Structure formats: C-alpha cells, structure tokens
Amino acid sequence: MNFIETRGNDGHFPLAFSFSEAILSPMSSFGGLYSPEKLPHLGLEFLEAHLNSHYKTLAKAMLQLFEIDISEAVLDEALSLYDGFDDPANPVPVVKVTNDLFVSELYHGPTRAFKDMALQPFGSVLSAIAKARGEKYLILAATSGDTGPAALDTFRNKENIQVACMYPDGGTSDVQRLQMVTEDAANLKVIGIHGDFDDAQSALKTLLTSDEFKATLQKNNISLSAANSVNFGRIIFQTIYHLHSYLELVRQGEIKLGDKVYLNVPSGNFGNALGGYYAYQMGLPVEKIIIASNNNNVLTQFINEGRYDLRNTSVIPTISPAMDILKSSNIERILFDMFGPARTKELMLALDKDKFYQLTAEELAQVQTIFAADFCNDEETKVYIKQAYDLGYLMDPHTATCFKAHDTCRENKTLKSIIYSTAEWTKFSPVIANALTGEVDGQDIDALKSISETLGVAIPAPIKALFDKPIAQKTVINKQDIEAEILKFLA
C-alpha cells in the first residue's frame, strides 16, 4: 500500500511513500501528513472470520490487509507486546455499564493509558526498521500527558533510537509527570516547557519540517521521526481496537454481526477518532462517531457549525487535561479523505495563517453524516464520574466526558454505544476523589491512598512505585529554547 500527502506534492518529496518510509519521515509537502492512498475493505466476511480471534490475530490480519512493507517476524514480535498487558488473553476488555453503553478499556498496558495500544507495537516496529537499515533516529514526542510516558516506555534503551519528549509544565497530572521525569535511560530526554500542549506540538511540527534542524542532525548521521499521531504508524494500530470492540459486543450477545453501533471517543488530537473513521470506511457497521470534548470545545464547533476558529482563544485548563488541545492534528486526515489535497491545503494553510477556516454547507453536511459532537464542562464531568460509580463503574474524567455525549448526541436511542476509555482512574485520582467524596487533595498520592482505602480498590504497583523513584529529568525551559536543548542532549 502507498501513502500519499494530505496537502499535495511540492516537488521535493516522492509522490508516494511505503508504510516504512511514511513512519520514518511522517511530515510531507507544505507541512502536511501522510495518509493511505486507498483503504482496504473489510466486509462482514472479515469480521465473521475473526469473531473468535485473539486480539493479536485480528491485528495481524488487519495489518496484512494494508499490505505494509514490514516482515511477518517483525510484526509478530511487535504484537507479542500485548502479552504484557493485564490480561494477555484479552488486552482490551469491553465492559457493560448500562443496557446500551459499553466501555472499551484501552488502558491495561504498562503506562495505564490508551497510547500503549499503539506505541508498544509501533516502537518495536520503528526500532526494528532503524536497526535493519543501520540508521540512527531521533524520535520527537509532544504530550498532553499520555503519549510521553508511552513513548518513553516503548523506546527505553532501544538500539539506534534517541527520544526527546516535550510536555507542558503544570499541564499534566502528578502521575503522568512522574512517569516521564523518573525515566533515567540514557537514550531518553524529557523537556518540560512553559506553555501548553499546542505549544509543544507546534514545536514538534516546526522541528519535523525544519531543513536546518534536519541538516544539523544529518551531520551526526541522525534522522528524524515522531511518536505523535502525526505519524501514521500510530494510527494504523489505533484502528484495530475499534474492530475488536465491535466483535466483543457480538461475542457478548449484545448485538448481531452487521448491527450498527455508535463509537464515542474523547477528542484530544483526534487520532483515536480517526482510527474509528478508518474502521468505518473499511466496512465496520457504525452509525456515527461521537466526539466528546471538554471546555476546549473547538471540535464541537467544527463538527456542529463547520468552523475551526482559534481566533481570540487560548487553552483552558480542565480536569481532563489530555484533551486541553485546540489544534487537533488528525482533523487534517479527515479533510483529506473527504475533500482531497487541494482543499485540505487551502483549509490548513488558512488555519496556520488566519487561525480560522469555514467549511461550505455541503462540506459540513458531509462531515455530519459520520460525526456528532458535544462538550462536557468540569462540573458535569464530576457528576458523570459519580453517576457511573453509583452504577458500579469507576472511570477517569476523560471517559466521563463521553457519558454526556452518549446522552446528547445519539439520534437512534435503540443502538448500542462503545465508549473508549483512554486512561485508568489512577492517573487523575484527585479529580476522582473530589467527584466521589468532595475531598480536595493537592497531591496525587494522597488521593490515591484515600480512594484505595475508601473504595477498597488496589493501586497498581507501577503507579504506586512512581512516588519513590528519584527525579532523573529536571529540565523545564521556554519553548524557544527547545531546539538548543535537544541538540545539547544529542551531543
């Protein structure tokens, strides 16, 4: 399968890349991304054939449909990492909360967040490619809280790989920050920045498209790639769990093969939703994909009104910080798939220049055939956390935003909904404690202990151990100093 450029070709890049080339160099002409030239079609036959398949078997079959240029041995090794999740027999449990609402728990990997679903195998594949080519790579990561820990975990001590991970200082939970700053492997560099996630992501994209930066790296025989979902190597693995979650409902007798469902996804950088969109385009029976946001509700406005408007806006800190994002990178791939490269380039350059674009009425109607959206403020989020706990389900604040969207966005109330839970409650324990008991804890460790004692739930050992680890990564800088800090690390 070939991968082509979302904004068209500027004459400096090949017209098409293979999968391995696209993940090694994820940015394309005019600052665009790579997307599949054509998606494979699944059909109900594929789903029926994998009704009883293990997650790894389903994943391998879908990856082979994409005809990616990765050897079977490398794929098998990468997918074997799912054996390290909580339950090797079922790395992604799908839990019934009410008769029409099911939660796909994507957080049972080593860093307790959904980014492990993609980054565990992706890290293995990228490292294998680099080693086979005898090339060295600098992997950049910008994180709102979960990509960073997952990227650092998957690339720790990998040959031919160095990682520079940027996070907004003060913009993550204590647990997320500790997962990053306690990493002490020599090939990992963690950089706190004075700013928000959009600042970190902007810095990442600037470096990925900087000829001068890449030339400096090349003098040391280092090439450049990224662990964020601008890299399609992330997205391809994020498509699989949508298929798995649907098949789980069939296996549980909740739906019949061919019945449509709603997919309900926290907003973030839109990689999770994009995986669902590709699954839909490949033939998964989906009624609509519901996008849940917090007070940073740019995507709600985009889907409901066709406006992407960043004028006179800034990131609002919320209790669901991994969604404190205004510029969601993977919207670009939706625009490309629906409207083609010329229109995508026009819209994305307008967003870069004017911080605004407006879809036509026809374009908006096309978006709304598959997407619906709503947002959930902090107080509403805490109410949904408490309501779900009273039903016997303990969840994090990002998942809670989807519960409101479940109530407000479904036009067909007879269909089942799959909500994608992106993080374990332990990563946001002060919010959970406040929602359930009203207590206010300044430190995650206090809230973790309180919830564990009050509710009788265990704190997972990897989370508990974080608070006794020494801080190995102490860098916090201004965003304009990021490039110099990375080059100092590489030297």
Section 166-191 average pLDDT: 96
Q: What is the pLDDT of residue 429?
A: 95
> Which amino acid would we find at residue 191?
I
Strands of 476-478's sheet, edge to edge?
A: 222-226, 136-142, 161-168, 188-194, 476-478
* CA atoms of 335 and 343, how far apart (whole Å): 8
Position 212 pLDDT exceeds 80:
yes
Q: What is the pLDDT of residue 442?
A: 75
Q: What is the pLDDT of residue 458?
A: 92
Q: Give the 3-state secondary structure of residue 79.
A: helix
CA 224 from chain centre, in angstroms, equals: 20
pLDDT digits (tens, 9 = 90+) for 467-485: 999 999 999 999 999 999 9
Spatial CB neighbours of 475, under 8 Å, sequence gap ≥ 6: 189, 190, 191, 192, 485
Structure tokens at 441: 């804890």
Q: What pLDDT band is residue 75 in, cutting at 50, 70 and 90?
A: very high
Q: What pLDDT band is residue 246 in, cutting at 50, 70 and 90?
A: very high
| DSSP H helix total and E strand total for the chain | 20, 15
On average, the pLDDT of the chain sits at: 96
Q: What pLDDT band is residue 350 in, cutting at 50, 70 and 90?
A: very high
Block residue for tokens 């079959």: 61
Q: What is the pLDDT of residue 97?
A: 98
Domain ranges of the chain: 80-112+233-460
How far CA 318 is from CA of 143, 217, 315, 447, in Å, comes to 16, 37, 9, 18
Structure tokens at 388: 């779900």
Ramachandran angles phi, psi of 424, nearest 5°? -70, 150
* DSSP strands (E only) in 221-366: 222-226, 261-266, 286-293, 307-309, 356-358
| CATH classification (class only), 80-112+233-460 | alpha beta
Position 20 pLDDT exceeds 90:
yes
pLDDT digits (tens, 9 = 90+) for 380-410: 999 999 999 999 999 999 999 999 999 999 9
Position 43 pLDDT exceeds 90:
no
Q: What is the pLDDT of residue 391?
A: 96
Section 123-148 average pLDDT: 93
Q: What is the pLDDT of residue 445?
A: 93
* CA atoms of 113 and 154, how far apart (whole Å): 13
Position 283 pLDDT exceeds 80:
yes
Could you tell me where the DSSP H helices lie in 282-330? Answer: 298-305
Section 66-85 average pLDDT: 96
| Other Cβ atoms within 10 Å of 354 Cβ, number | 11
DSSP 6-18: TT---SSS-S-B-
Q: What pLDDT band is residue 342 in, cutting at 50, 70 and 90?
A: very high
Position 282 pLDDT exceeds 80:
yes
pLDDT digits (tens, 9 = 90+) for 408-424: 999 999 999 999 999 99
How far CA 438 is from CA of 381, 384, 446, in Å, comes to 14, 14, 14
Position 295 pLDDT exceeds 80:
yes
Q: What is the pLDDT of residue 491?
A: 87
Model confidence, pTM: 0.95
Structure tokens at 272: 């999770």
Structure tokens at 390: 């009273």
pLDDT digits (tens, 9 = 90+) for 45-72: 999 999 999 999 999 999 999 999 999 9
Section 65-85 average pLDDT: 96
Structure tokens at 162: 């160095």
pLDDT digits (tens, 9 = 90+) for 423-453: 999 999 999 999 999 999 778 999 999 999 9
Percent of residues, the chain, with pLDDT higher than 90? 96
Could you tell me where the DSSP H helices lie in 66-158? Answer: 72-79, 115-133, 147-155
* CA atoms of 100 and 368, how far apart (whole Å): 22
